[in-house]
Structure 1
């Protein structure tokens, strides 16, 4: 089976475009260098990803990015061969974890980072970092480095997608359509939530995707309240079943698309229909408000109102960005804090519009979410999977 891939020339443009955006954001904010341990940030800066789930829980690889010039990928020594030919220089990482004397090994790491900065012409003492374990932080401090937060730079760079990134989302959209189609077809009384989740992951992996970031397949009473984990519960006729894909696809492209289905041939209950209709209509109305030039505060002020009984268990935000993971910007519900209210939506942002409708104490809950790219005219769905007709 041949899974979807980008042509080498397009992949090279994708990586070069991302690095250019990151370094431009650094220069605009006066940041001389970034030290990146977060896997999506490493991938954005260098195009390289290795053992992403494990690497994101450790400090075994990182990228050192100057505002001008070639980045350095400090890679797990046994993985260096994977990245011959990438734009970044590749050097072995000296990790401090898994040793008895972490401070001593962190000192070696810190000395190598400072030496690399000086090689790249970075003479200042400030370093923007996304995440850093305590031994590494203290070792850099002892060498006179002051640590700043890299988030203002990385979030600004990643918010607007390059043309190649939009093409990558389109390439992955077909995989998500297949995932959801296979998922819906597999729903039947007698199957377990875990079996449905396994099928979802299997479709993703067979098509060249990487992993599911969460395990969110829930049925029946597990659909209320929101945020349950997938269990061994066996589906019954008449259950609601929802899925939040949270899928990391080809080249790390992240998809947060949600759908709710009805199990079996039982008619939906009035409560199920009410919750689904409220979610469906709200989703479409809010999506229609998304336009380039609108601010987050504008959308909050004009947003449709959910029925009051669903507000106590509402989703955290109405809209959030997506790229290599869940990203900015986010749009809050009316009455919730919106510190980024002046953030302006722009063409080629990729946004997720999503919500949860479940009444406190009720049996059923509905989760719906669409992922779209912002266009000059509004939005274009990346995964136009149908809504559940049996619930409308």
Structure 2
């Protein structure tokens, strides 16, 4: 077990009230909108139509039914390069956003109707009218995702569709001071999540029961939902990318947890820790995999500085022992914010998605590693979420490592 590594008090066990009290949420929203509109100006785009939940939230501060909204087209935001956005909201959710500095009006959805094309045409006409209302003179509209009926209807209305990702990813890459403040508060919730799930690890408990602990602490702390169900034990830890099952933990199992949680104000936390179940002594193979992961993660964090490019990070990265490379994690570093973001750093020898992107002060990043031999009964996953500063990385969730696995 790893209990000796847990600080005397990781957190308060849940705080009453809103944990974002003290954060100027109006300034948070205004700062994000300014960054997005600045990126739109740089790309020569007059308007974006955003259906992706994190993009809507980034531009307007509005979130409603976020999990369901990711699979439907029932709400969107029309964002001009200058001025306030128009939020097309689900009619039954409009009352939630009376205080937002955005124009809120009902969304005319085409889904779940018999006359999909005709309803999509109404949506397209309303979108075109709103563009004119906002002073948009270009017929180009940058969009993040859109179902086929909406796409065809906008085309029929004379609107030319381009990709909004170059603008949204550019804007979201560097966090505002208020975003960093909210991330720091969310990090405390995630500390409590890891503390509570580690305290619940014992022989006989199931992976799903541990997942329930993780979710309960997230929700009690003001977070929103889990994005994955990554609590795995014993043979389910190898290969990586399993999710929680009804398997009961056994003494001596490794148990890894990836928080993958949407926390305060929608900010995402992707932090990984691996624990030892019960009072067993770890095997040599378990200790070696844990040590390799630990040493790699600490060495990689030392390399992360403003100004270094993703290509340079890949070239300078510490090397995992060869026996773990066939099942290496898909990347070494990725951006984080309201969802997984740019940039990303792949392993040396793998294609680099953002080779020339230089890290900047204010970026939020996840650095993570998986060590598991092909065919082994166990694997180790470790990962930290950091904010980059001029002095190097600031760990948002400095949860301790497992001392028993480092001996």
The partner residue of 1:253 within 267, 285, 288 is 267
| Cα RMSD after superposing both structures | 0.9
Cα distance in 2 for partners of 1:120, 1:3 equals 38
Q: Where does residue 173 of structure 2 map in the other structure?
A: 159
Cα distance in 1 for partners of 2:208, 2:256 equals 13
The partner residue of 1:196 within 199, 207, 210 is 210
Following TM superposition, the consecutive aligned residue runs of length 4 or more in structure 1 with deviations greater than 2 angstroms are 3-9
The partner residue of 1:298 within 312, 315, 319 is 312
Deviation at 1:339, TM superposition (A): 3.6
Deviation at 1:4, TM superposition (A): 4.2
Q: Structure 1 length normalisation: TM-score?
A: 0.99
Q: Where does residue 10 of structure 2 map in the other structure?
A: none
The partner residue of 2:352 within 338, 348, 354 is 338
- What are the equivalent positions in structure 2 for 1:232-381 lying under 5 Å apart? 232-381=246-395
Cα distance in 1 for partners of 2:395, 2:23 equals 26
Q: Structure 2, unaligned stretches of length 5 or more?
A: 1-14
Q: Where does residue 205 of structure 1 map in the other structure?
A: 219
Cα distance in 2 for partners of 1:211, 1:153 equals 27
Q: Say whether the 8 Å CA contact 1:194–1:231 is kept in structure 2.
A: yes
Cα distance in 1 for partners of 2:191, 2:353 equals 35
- What are the equivalent positions in structure 2 for 1:124-143 lying under 5 Å apart? 124-143=138-157
Q: Where does residue 172 of structure 1 map in the other structure?
A: 186
Aligned CA distance change for structure 1 residues 212 and 221 (closer, same or farther; 3 Å): same
Cα distance in 1 for partners of 2:258, 2:401 equals 14
Q: Structure 1, unaligned stretches of length 5 or more?
A: none
The partner residue of 1:94 within 100, 105, 108 is 108
Q: Where does residue 23 of structure 1 map in the other structure?
A: 37
- Please list the CA deviations of residues 56-115 of structure 1 after superposition, one character each: whole Å capped at 9, or x if unmatched: 110000000000111000000000000001011101000000001111100000000000
Q: Where does residue 145 of structure 1 map in the other structure?
A: 159
- How many pairs does the alignment contain? 392
Deviation at 1:5, TM superposition (A): 2.7
Cα distance in 2 for partners of 1:156, 1:379 equals 20
Please state whether the residue corresponding to 1:288 is helix, strand or coil: helix
Deviation at 1:124, TM superposition (A): 1.1
Please state whether the residue corresponding to 2:57 is helix, strand or coil: helix
Cα distance in 2 for partners of 1:204, 1:157 equals 28
Please state whether the residue corresponding to 1:234 is helix, strand or coil: coil
Cα distance in 2 for partners of 1:152, 1:4 equals 34
Q: Say whether the 8 Å CA contact 2:344–2:353 is kept in structure 1.
A: no
The partner residue of 1:231 within 242, 245, 248 is 245
Q: Say whether the 8 Å CA contact 1:279–1:366 is kept in structure 2.
A: yes
Q: Structure 2 length normalisation: TM-score?
A: 0.95
